[in-house]
Structure formats: C-alpha cells, structure tokens
Amino acid sequence: MAPTKITGCSVRDIRFPTSLEKDGSDAMNLAPDYSCPYVVLKTDSALEGHGITFTVGKGNEIVCHAVTVLSKMVVGQSLDTIYGNFGMFWRSLTSEDQMRWLGPEKGVMHLAVAALTNALWDLWAKIEGKPLWKLLVDMEPEKLVSTIDFRYMMDALTPQEAIDMLKKARNGREKREKEMQENGFPCYTTSCGWLGYEDDKIKKLCKEALAEGITRFKAKVGADLADDKRRCRLLRDLIGPKNILLVDANQRWEVQESIDWMKELVDCNITWIEEPTSPDDILGHQEIAKALVPLGIGVATGEQCQNRIMFKQFIKAGAMQFCQIDACRLGGVSECVAVILMACKYGVPICPHGGGVGLCELIQHLSIFDYIAVSASLENRMTEYLDHLHQHFKNPCVMNRGNYVPPKAPGYSIDMKEESLAEYEWPKGKVWQKLIAQGAYTVE
C-alpha cells in the first residue's frame, strides 16, 4: 500500500566522539563532536522518511527539542497536502505565525526545519523508488519550482525564470546523466589538511589521496600565519603544481586581515579562500573578493549561510565566487534547489559543503542534480569529500578515483544503521556510557 499520511515522528540525539581524534579541528572549531538530530517520519505504510541536520556536539539536544516542537505541524498531515504544494507547506513550517519570531529562517529553528524537510524529501524519493538526485532530475520543471518558497527571492529569480532555466537545461540531459553514471561527480578532499594533524600524517594522507586519484585538496588556515605558510607550501609540494589547492579560515579574520593574510599565501597558487570572516558579512566578503580575485584567489562561503535570502545577496554582490550550500543549514532540499537556480543564473558554481556526519551522503545528490538538470557544467565545480563516519550509513557514498558515484538506492542516502544509532545515541548509547564512565565526557 502506498503511504497517504504522516503518522508519527521520532527524534534521536546522535553524537560521535570525533573530538578525541582531532578530526575536524580548525581555527574556529577546536574540538567538534560530529552530531545530528536523527528524524524518522512514520507513515501509514512500511515506508519511512529519514532526515538529519548537522551540529558539532553541544546543543544538539536544543535542535532535537525544536524538531519535536515543529514535528507537530507535520504529523497527521496527508501526503497530498505536503507534496501537492510543497513550497506552501515548507512556508507553513518556516513562517508559523508565532515561531517565526525565533528566526526567522535561521539558527536552531532553521536547522530543525532542515532535518524535518530532508526527511520529507527522503520519503518522497522512496515513494517514487528513486535516489533523490533522480527524483529531482525527472520532476517536471513546473512541479520542481512549486516546491520552492520564492518569498524574498523575486528580485533575483522569479518562478517563471526558474521554469525556463530548467526547461532549457533539458537539452543534453540524458548524455550528462550517462556521463555521471560513468565518471561520477568531481570532489575535493579536506581529510589531509586539518590544523591538528602532524606533518607526517599530512604526508601520508596526501600520498594515499593522490593514489586514489584525488586532484583537489583543502587545508585549514587562520591560526598562525607562519604555520599556514609552511603547511600550504608543504601541501603544494606534495600535490604538485597542477592539482588544486584550497584553503579555509573558518571565519577567523576581520575583513582587512583576510586580505593581508591571503596575500602572504599567494605564491602557493590557491584557488579559493573559504570563510575568511563572519558568515553574515556579505559586504565584507565583497570587499575581500574585490582585493583577491585579481590575484587569482576566489572567495568561497556558505556552510553557515543561513538561508536563500543571504545567498541571494552574496551571489548578486559578487561576494562569493564559489557557492558552498549546506544540505543541513539551508531548510532542506527545496531551499538548496532555490540557491542552485539563483547561482546558475548569476554564473556562480555550486561547491557544496561536506564532512561532518552524513553531509557527503546528502550533497552528492545535489551536485549531481545541478550538473544534469541545471548548470550543465563541471567548470569550477567540486564537492567536498571527507572520509569520516561513512561506515554508519546503510548506503554510504561511493567514491571512484576522486569522484562521487551517483547513488542508486531510493531516498536521500540518510538512513543510518540501527546498531550505530543505538550505540551513539547521547547519552545512553553504549559508546557514550563507556566514555562517560571513563570521565572523558560528562552529562550536564
């Protein structure tokens, strides 16, 4: 029987003790424990929608709380109501009369919207029996555009323009889909360049990555200029002159400081500086881009860009040369599609944010959709890949010589293994109970 309505919602607080390994250490995030509220939407059939948003540990329980509160607007709804006009349903979640004050469309509430709507899209793809990217690629342009809330976007993109873009991109679609199936979508790796890693570890990881066919590498910078110069030089020498080197400051700098610091690294031939300063500072990024683009360095940002309204401004202002959407920071798939369409219109390549837990599983769908059905270009496009925590997923992303292989299983690749969920549920899971008993963590 096909499902007809949402009958229940469960939320679990899942955390991984990644800070013990210094995975993910950078100039701003000293010791993240990759975490997610894990949402399961039940239906009146056997099908379930699974969804997550991503956090780095503490406070994950606050987002779980917000999901629980918002889920009351989803449970009991018919799938006709939800999927019949998804854009309007999405707005009912983000713009609920009273709760809108808590954002609007940002922070904890928007992370919660992401978890819930990612689950709804996962369910949609499972109902259609397709991986999410294929659901998006096959959807009629009018239907896909109707999933988007265009509020506050109309000065950058209208629904009709979006439909026209999608129709135009139908040309050559089958060829590009075949190409994706054969070659996959290009990625870059951040696994080699964390701040906390010793040089020997960097060398070993780089060598392994090169052997796997990876040609794009990202390093964390921003804590110490002399150390950054040394490490960027080390990486450039390790990867050779032709491969791509990216750096990421994780919001460590002021505006002028960003410009001055990056000028010191210019001879390492760096393609982008990621998150030089506050994710809220559109005009600051614009100023940085004006100074650095003539030196061959673009500005990349987006993993903490709160919504389509901020992306609209970054894109229109020339404040980002690379658009790093985050599948869990934006309010789910349809807001990501909105940004993908705006970025395409203004000629800014989409390079999604990966890593954490589950982000790589999600973003591969978005990049593959972008290439096949929107931008039709791979120029300057690359999607982040990190080799962490994939073992916990039922259908982890698959790499082939540095490229994401298009997922085949129906859904959004979010489903985690039940044993992982049980072991890593904070604080009662077996892994956490052991760490708490050892005194490595405390429950406050």
**For binding to a copy of itself (CB under 8 A), which residues are involved?**
28-33, 55-59, 61-63, 65-66, 69, 72, 96-111, 151-152, 154-155, 251, 254-257, 277-284, 287, 304, 306-307, 309-310, 312-313, 316-317, 444
Whole-number Å distance between alpha carbons of 301 and 305: 8
Q: Give SS3 for 169.
A: coil
Rounded-to-integer distance, Cα 284 and Cα 295, Å? 18
Nearer to a copy of itself, 99 or 422 (CB): 99
Strands 270-274 and 298-301: parallel
Residue 388 is among the residues annotated as catalytic for this protein: no
- The smaller minimum CB distance to a copy of itself, of residues 98 and 391, is found at 98
Q: Which two tokens stand for residue 389?
A: 């925590």
Considering 42, 50, 134, 220, which one is annotated as catalytic? Answer: 220
| Of 156, 154, 159, nearest in space to 144 by CA | 159
Q: What are phi and psi of 299, to 5 degrees?
A: -100, 130
Q: Least distance in Å: CB of 322 to a copy of itself?
A: 20
Listed residue (164, 84, 118) closest to 11, CA to CA: 118
32 vs 186, beta carbon nearer a copy of itself: 32
Tell me how far apart the alpha carbons of residues 265 and 233 are, in angstroms, rounded to a whole number: 9
Q: Is 111 or 368 the residue whose CB approaches a copy of itself more closely?
A: 111
Beta strand pairing status for 216-220 and 244-248? parallel
Which of these is catalytic: 42, 110, 126, 353?
Answer: 353
Question: In whole angstroms, how close is the CB of 118 to a copy of itself at the nearest point?
Answer: 17
User: What residues contact 405, with CB distance under 8 A and at least 6 apart?
Assistant: 184, 397, 398, 399
> Least distance from C-beta 309 to a copy of itself, angstroms?
4
Active-site residue, 353 included: yes
Which CB sits closer to a copy of itself, 255 or 373?
255
**CB 328 to a copy of itself: min, Å:** 10
* For residue 427, cis peptide bond before it (omega within 30 degrees of 0): yes
Closest approach, Cβ 31 to a copy of itself, in A, equals 6
> Which distant-in-sequence residues (6+ apart) come within 8 Å of 97 by Cβ?
none
What residues are annotated to the active site?
220, 353
